[in-house]
Amino acid sequence: MGQKLIIDTDPGVDDAFAIALAALSEDVELLGVTTVFGNVSLPDTTRNALRLLALCGRSDVPVGAGADRPLVHPQRSRATRIHGADGLSGRSSMLPEPTREAHRSGAVNLLAELLETADEPVTIAAIGPLTNIALLLATHPGAREHIDRIVIMGGGLNGGNSTPVAEFNIWSDPEAARRVLVEEDVPCVLVPLDLTLRCAVDSAWLAKLAAAGAVGSALTALTPDYVASYRKVLGFDGMAMHDAVAVAEAIRPGILRTEPFPIEIDCTSGPGRGATLVDRRPGLARDEAEGPVPAGTVHVAVDTDLDGLRAFVLDRLSLP
């Protein structure tokens, strides 16, 4: 059936592209989608996930609603300025109505159930705050042996987008991020802002997607406000598809070039809170060839064939 995948998400316009990328890929067995607070409230992220799966004709995929707040401190702010009050630029009602309800057992129990019943290790694409994943690893420690790797969209090597140093997903729950990335013994790939911003697509790319089919047309209809918010960041009409870049790596391992680095997450209450501290000094990281990589060493995505990645995403989303 192909790559077994679970997506943990807070849709979000870029999350919408990421979910569709996985849902439409024939070489992916999308086992489930779990939702978390983040860009908007949990009821909105859950409703958006259900609508997006309906758009892609994948209402067979179970959706579990998860954490509605961070582990320790309240979420400081949401991303409605960029994603709109409903998470999808105020256009979520343009998507099909869900044909099923969220799974009765919730996100963490659904994650554990899907992992434990899978006949081979599963990749988790974590493209929102990491609260659900931290709770999973804390409450179901046996789940680790069923996880192939966790591909995480988050962090910034050279700055953030929520504060000068912190990226939104990590900043929304630094304690959860630290548990997953630093404390837990599970393979992680971190896809940071530095790379996802370089993978931004322009208006010509979006026009091709809009003309490609019903799903592409519906996805691009969600983007006008998102594109407007990125105009100042990018310097052109286009958008960063952050989460889709991480899901591309989850689907096709190696589409991003990664390097292993020691990592730390700032969980203090000062101006550095939420910063992703990646130690890039030469000679400190240790690769698998030298033995097991210790917790706190994360494979960080540093480069890709930009045109190749954009073409990969466009092709997967361009169904008739």
Exactly one of 83, 103, 146, 242 is catalytic; name it. Answer: 242
Determine the longest span between alpha carbons in the chain, in angstroms. Answer: 53
**Unique residue bearing structure tokens 């979420």:** 75
Label the pairing between strands 276-278 and 256-265. antiparallel
Residues in the chain, how many?
320
DSSP assignment letter at 49? H
d(CA 74, CA 129) in angstroms, rounded, equals: 13
Q: Is 103 a catalytic residue?
A: no
> CA-CA distance, 116 to 55, in Å (whole number)?
28
In this structure, the number of other CB atoms found within 10 A of the CB of residue 308 comes to 10
Task: Give the span between the Cα atoms of 91 and 224, in whole angstroms.
Answer: 10
Number of Cβ within 10 Å of residue 179's Cβ equals 21
- Positions marked catalytic: 242
